[in-house]
Structure 1
């Protein structure tokens, strides 16, 4: 007789957290500079805020969180990969807005899609990959 392991009942990646030093500055970057929508900005506890942003219509959001005591501070590679429909236009637009991006779009050849990285207001790295 064999046993079947039961997994957790996870249904999706609902959000990822990015550690920031200043939530207002991060909110301005993600909404004002990147054009994300603000999904939540809710005060809780003793002066804390739960802030979520995301590209319009995206199922997964980004929570902009302050560092926890003893936790990782800002300025790291987040592992977040955003999808672009036009990588060259998005790269140019971010550079025009003063975003710290890679100098150029990386093109490795098929089957690897074109990609570049940028850093947010706290130096957190985010990758952008062309859909296709």
Structure 2
């Protein structure tokens, strides 16, 4: 008898932020994410998780920087590369909504073999791809 393959998924990714409420306002208010959890912890910390509405992928744990090393990483956690890939079923709709909400796109939308994409910066300068995958 063979053992079945393990079932795994990437559930949550930590994003270091400067302040909880400011980050929550951007991700939930500007990008339209939903707040999955916002629980007070010891020492003024919070378990603050946000995720795209209706999504099935990973969520973000918004973690307030603790100390100088973490503070220096805010906005540059992956050395200036695109860090996050936000998939959509309607690029034009979400691109227009993000622009209306003040999201700063770093390039014009472009079509690639893998889909329609444009890079935008979040509140801290982290780079994101807004992408509608090719059919």
> Structure 1 length normalisation: TM-score?
0.81
Name the structure where helix makes up a greater proportion of residues. 2
Deviations 1:63-82 (A, max 9, x none): 11122433352112462111
Whether the 8 Å contact between 2:83 and 2:126 is mirrored in structure 1 is: no
Change (3 A) 1:74 1:10: farther
Q: Superposition pairs for residues 1-132 of structure 1, below 5 Å?
A: 11-59=8-56, 60-69=58-67, 70-71=69-70, 73-76=73-76, 77=81, 79-108=83-112, 111-131=113-133, 132=135
Cα RMSD of the aligned pairs, angstroms, is 1.9
Shift of 1:10: 6.7
Distance 1:33 1:122 in 2: 13
> Structure 2 length normalisation: TM-score?
0.80
**Which runs of 4 or more aligned residues in structure 1 lie more than 4 Å from their structure 2 counterparts after TM superposition?**
none
Deviations 1:17-59 (A, max 9, x none): 1111111111001111111110011111211111000012323
